[in-house]
Amino acid sequence: MNRNRAHFMSFDLVFFGGTGDLTWRKLMPALFQAFRHGKLPAGGRILAVARDEMSDERYREWLKERFREVDGSKRPNDEEFERFAALLHYRRMDLSQPEHYQRLKDWLDERSADTVVLYLATSPHLFTQICQQLGEAGLNHERVRVVLEKPLGHDLASAQEINAVVRSVFKESQAFRIDHYLGKPSVQNLSALRFGNALFEPLWRRESIANIQITLAEELGVGTRGAFYDGTGALRDMIQNHALQLLTMIAMEPPSTNDADAIRDEKLKVLRSLKPFTPESVARDVVRGQYRAGTVGGVAVPGYLDEAKVPAESHCETFVALRTEVQNWRWAGVPFYLRTGKRLAARDAQIVINFRPVPHPIFPGTNQANRLVIKLQPEDGLELQLLAAKGGAHGEALSPVSLDLDFDKAFATNRVGAYERLLLDAIAGRLNLFVRSDEQEQAWRWVEPILDAWKQDSTGPRPYTAGSWGPAAASALVARDGFHWSEEA
């Protein structure tokens, strides 16, 4: 009954930064998909706010133009766009002007929708100002939710500062911190795999698992984002949030319920159990790299230092590989390797669980073991590598064979994309896939000693050729434990 009610709930969704890249590249296309799939609750209004003066009509035309750049099957046809555009509105807003927030409030008060979602898709340095002004305008009442995009802070202190302001205006239950990796279908499936099946849980521990590898590899370089990226780097851009969130989903204890706080309590425990870095362990267990010119997908590409808006002497890392451990009974001694980079050999995001080999091998010549691969990109799926006899001569060595699960085929339906999922969840008030402030701060706390050690180390990142798998030191990091990255098999 609740579900039905939710479906007819009215909502107003406001995008601050309504003409920004994130809005037109990711958020509007995702909303359109939700609309097309009939998942967007009826009775919604979508309001974009930004600095430019534009009518609703002009904004709709502008967005229609932008949609031409959205990839094929996700692009609306004219008739679909017309129907979607009927939900779209635009207002000019100067974010420093209190009376503009008052005008926004008046617009929202015209009809007092059941839910008001305020999505801050602006540059993060505006977050505190916007939140304060929203509070002063009374736009923090119980029907309001605020969605915050990463990066949330630059380090622990700045993240705490933002969170303090957010907390002074909104309750934690009103704050939806986005990590879009949590919305990816495979990540939701990870929860289902672990806590909806009895099969894996008994094996999901140090006794059966040799090591875990999380790879978030991109073919793209920094493109036009040089100025932003150079002040950020791969550790802040991908490891502090996406990679660590994936790690928590793998390593967490089964939560007692499927409620947001039960899940987030368990994830926080994992973050608190991560082995802290020291200057010595950073030197030993963390590899940073920066791409040089090379070839990616058959195309010659420039090195990082030749990208637009990147300073010639930059020490910004475009690659990180690290080794860590989760220091608790379940995981003691099991290496977790995390790796991310731009301009790598493939767009490939996956989590590989390498099981231990059998304790007493009776078949000749095999040192292989079971492996579970949770694929996030380019396609989502699940692959379980088993060892099997091909048949034939007695005593033949075992060969690996894969049970390859393609969810698209299995469910024969359009999978819900990450932003679509997260926007729908924000509208429905479901916090499960959003990051709580204490998780986010703990992730910064863990990452900071790496940033500090790098500041002291003038040698800078190791060069790697675009189109490779990063510096050779990243392979050595894993080889030291007697393992290898999955593509090196």
CB of 182 vs ligand BG6, minimal distance in Å: 11
Residue 76 vs 221, nearer CB to ligand BG6: 221
- Report in angstroms the alpha-carbon separations of 133 from 9, 126, 146: 27, 11, 13
Residue 90 vs 304, nearer CB to ligand BG6: 304
Residue 294 token pair? 């090379």
Which residues within the stretch 52-71 sit at the binding site for ligand BG6 (CB under 6 A)? none
Question: Using the rule CB under 6 A, which residue among 48, 162, 218, 230 binds ligand BG6?
Answer: 218
> Nearest to residue 122, comparing CAs of 133, 137, 110?
133
CB of 395 vs ligand BG6, minimal distance in Å: 45
Backbone angles phi, psi at 439, to 5 degrees: -65, -45
End-to-end CA distance of the chain: 52
CB of 464 vs ligand BG6, minimal distance in Å: 17
Residue 128 vs 232, nearer CB to ligand BG6: 232
62 residue type, one letter: W
Which residues within the stretch 152-181 sit at the binding site for ligand BG6 (CB under 6 A)? 180
Peptide bond into 461 cis (omega under 30): no
Residue 218 vs 285, nearer CB to ligand BG6: 218
Q: CB burial class (10 A; 0-12, 13-18, 19+) of residue 473?
A: middle
Which residues within the stretch 322-381 sit at the binding site for ligand BG6 (CB under 6 A)? 349, 377
CB of 25 vs ligand BG6, minimal distance in Å: 11
Asked if 47 and 100 touch (Cβ cutoff 8 Å), the reply is no
Quick one: three-class SS letters along 110-166?
CCCCCEEEEEECCCHHHHHHHHHHHHHCCCCCCCEEEEECCCCCCCHHHHHHHHHHH
CB of 237 vs ligand BG6, minimal distance in Å: 5
Q: Which helix (H) or strand (E) holds 269?
A: helix 260-273
Active site residues: 242
DSSP class of residue 76? P
Q: Which residue is nearest to ligand BG6 (CB)?
A: 237
Site membership for ligand BG6, residue 237 (CB under 6 A): yes
CB of 173 vs ligand BG6, minimal distance in Å: 24
How many residues bind ligand BG6, per CB under 6 A? 5
Residue 32 vs 84, nearer CB to ligand BG6: 32
Residue 177 vs 180, nearer CB to ligand BG6: 180
Residue 66: count of CB within 10 angstroms of its CB = 16
Beta strands 11-16 and 44-50: pairing type? Answer: parallel
CB of 377 vs ligand BG6, minimal distance in Å: 6
Residue 10 vs 486, nearer CB to ligand BG6: 486
Which residues within the stretch 179-208 sit at the binding site for ligand BG6 (CB under 6 A)? 180
Backbone angles phi, psi at 387, to 5 degrees: -110, 135
Which residues within the stretch 377-396 sit at the binding site for ligand BG6 (CB under 6 A)? 377
Q: Give residue 17's region: left, alpha or beta (phi > 0; psi -120 to 50).
A: left
Q: What distance separates the 2 farthest-apart alpha carbons in the chain?
A: 83
Site membership for ligand BG6, residue 230 (CB under 6 A): no
What distance in Å separates the CA atoms of residue 18 and residue 24, rounded to the nearest whole number?
A: 8
> Given the rule CB under 6 A, which residues bind ligand BG6?
180, 218, 237, 349, 377
